[in-house]
Amino acid sequence: MFERLPVPFGLVRYGVAPDHARIKSVSQVFDRVAESDRFQFFGNVTVGQAVSVSRLSAHYSATIIAVGASEGRRLGIEGENLDGVVQASDFVGWYNGHPDRCDLPIALKNCRHVVIVGQGNVACDVARILSVPPQRLASTDIASIALQQLSESAIRDIRMIGRRGPAQLKITPAEMRELCSIEELKVSTNFAEIELNKGSRIELDDPRNESARNVVRLLQRIREVDEATNYKKTLHVDFLQSPVVAQGNGRVETLQLQKNILQGAPFDQRALPTGDTRTVPCDLLVLATGYRALAPPGVPFNMATGFVPNEMGNVLAEDGRPIKGLYVVGWIKRGPVGTIGTTRADSIETVDRMLADFSNGYRFGLNTSAFVHELRQVAITVDWERWRRIDVHERTIGELRGKPREKLTSIVDMLSI
Ligand code: NAP
């Protein structure tokens, strides 16, 4: 297993929210795999730089690309480059202590109003991390810098806006329920002001759309919020709104929103602007509008779809023919949708395809030791034992601070262990 960072676990370590410890525990499955003497880990090796995919293919019977989709999707609105406007992909990396993102200039001390664009599970994660009392995150593996900023924050108001309506919300029921059950958080929504159009009612009545129905039921209950409680923060879940322009003097201060209506066939409804606009205060703007993959060097990539063309995980060449021994899994295989569970099923498909290809005649027992020796000449590689030392170090520091671990955020520090 080749990994750009000195440490393993990618999304589980740097994408899954720190308060979702149960999901993070999936890494224990990999720990068991790593115990096999047929497994080798090469951390701190960038494929495409230290070693090419074609070199890997020359030395291994099969190469599986599992690099995911790490970049945020830009909106293309005016003011997107102002300070205080961040991609959720960066923000999530920041609170999770990702070495590339831990220095993100996030200052929450004077930040009262946050707007999150998008209503998917990433937007939901960001809203929850900003909403829960910070002391509740102190016992997670959240990055210390993020915990400090959250503790000092002046956040009172979080607005999570969706360009379409409640029937098209992409947050799943369990995640929505978790967000709505934060006691210190008042959740309000413009749901009551919205008339579900015919298309949305058809969508909600569809037997396959159980998840959307459950979320809408939750939203309907939000209206019964207890006005007497002294809430610390308010979360507005606003539908049929799109950002138009972020304004401010070097740093974002306000966001202009436009009202939308839906048009199109059920399950294919698009947001159309009505021309109605309003401006809301905004000290931090988080764009949680989905992810995009970077083309892996030396692997065919379809810029239009944003993933590697493949047939059940077997990578296809430009002429549409399967490339022997080259496979993909996860978001780089099918685009940035779906949970870890979806990816698990999807990986099984790829591995089944790979095993079927093996039974149709493949080279086995390739000797990789010369290649490994060559690799160690060009890169400081981190093997599993060394990762274990980093792991123990992080856990030890974490224990002193009442956390499961304190992640090292500097690659130099990781390599010094
Ligand atoms: P997502 O589910 O695709 O949600 C993206 C959101 O951004 C949607 O509300 C989308 O609205 C909106 N959007 C996209 N482009 C926009 C634009 N130009 N203007 C305004 N809004 C725009 O993506 P995600 O939240 O990044 O999540 C990615 C995947 O990871 C999902 O499958 C998610 O379930 C999964 N995930 C799961 C968990 C979990 O299980 N706890 C946690 C995090 C992520 P439209 O619907 O109108 O396109």
pLDDT in tens, 78-101: 999 999 999 999 999 999 999 999
Q: Using CA positions, which residue lies closest to atom 28 of ligand 1? A: 337
What are the structure tokens assigned to 53, written together? Answer: 């995919």
169 CA from centroid of ligand 1 (Å): 9
404 CA from centroid of ligand 1 (Å): 29
Nearest to 338 by CA among 347, 325, 350, 326: 347
338 CA from centroid of ligand 1 (Å): 10
Residue list, ligand 1 pocket, CB within 6 Å: 75, 117-123, 125, 162-164, 168, 170, 175, 242, 288-291, 336-339
CB-CB contact of 330 with 314 (8 Å): no
For range 260-276, the mean pLDDT: 97
- Quick: pLDDT tens for 147-177: 999 999 999 999 999 999 999 999 999 999 9
Mean pLDDT over each residue of the chain, to the nearest integer: 94
337 CA from centroid of ligand 1 (Å): 8
Q: Using CA positions, which residue lies closest to atom 11 of ligand 1? A: 118
pLDDT of residue 227 exceeding 80, the answer is no
210 CA from centroid of ligand 1 (Å): 18
Residue 366 pLDDT level (bands cut at 50, 70, 90): low
Residue 224 pLDDT level (bands cut at 50, 70, 90): low
341 CA from centroid of ligand 1 (Å): 16
Q: Using CA positions, which residue lies closest to atom 40 of ligand 1? A: 339
Distance CA 292, CA 278 (A): 30
pTM over 0.85: yes
- What confidence score (pLDDT) does residue 191 get? 84
* Nearest ligand 1 atom to alpha carbon 242: 20
Tokens 């509740």 sit on residue? 136
Distance CA 369, CA 105 (A): 44
355 CA from centroid of ligand 1 (Å): 33
pLDDT of residue 365 exceeding 60, the answer is no
- What confidence score (pLDDT) does residue 193 get? 84
Q: Using CA positions, which residue lies closest to atom 21 of ligand 1? A: 118
Residue 360 pLDDT level (bands cut at 50, 70, 90): confident
Residue to mutate (ligand 1; options 169, 289, 332, 337; most atoms within 8 A of CB)? 289
Q: Rg of the Cα trace of the chain? A: 23
Q: Using CA positions, which residue lies closest to atom 42 of ligand 1? A: 121
pLDDT of residue 361 exceeding 90, the answer is no
Return the percentage of the chain with pLDDT > 70, whole number.
97
79 CA from centroid of ligand 1 (Å): 22
Residue 192 pLDDT level (bands cut at 50, 70, 90): confident
pLDDT of residue 304 exceeding 80, the answer is yes
pLDDT of residue 36 exceeding 80, the answer is yes
Task: Tell me, rounded to whole angstroms, the distance of Cα 388 from its chain centroid.
Answer: 25
For range 204-226, the mean pLDDT: 85
- What confidence score (pLDDT) does residue 225 get? 58
Distance CA 222, CA 238 (A): 13
In the three-class reduction of DSSP (H, G, I as helix; E, B as strand; rest coil), residue 9 is classed as coil
pLDDT of residue 369 exceeding 70, the answer is yes
Task: Give the DSSP letter string of 101-168.
Answer: TTT-----TT--EEEEE--SHHHHHHHHHHHS-GGGTTTTT--HHHHHHHHH----EEEEE-SS-GGG
Distance CA 86, CA 106 (A): 9
* Nearest ligand 1 atom to alpha carbon 337: 32
Residue to mutate (ligand 1; options 163, 175, 209, 346; most atoms within 8 A of CB)? 163
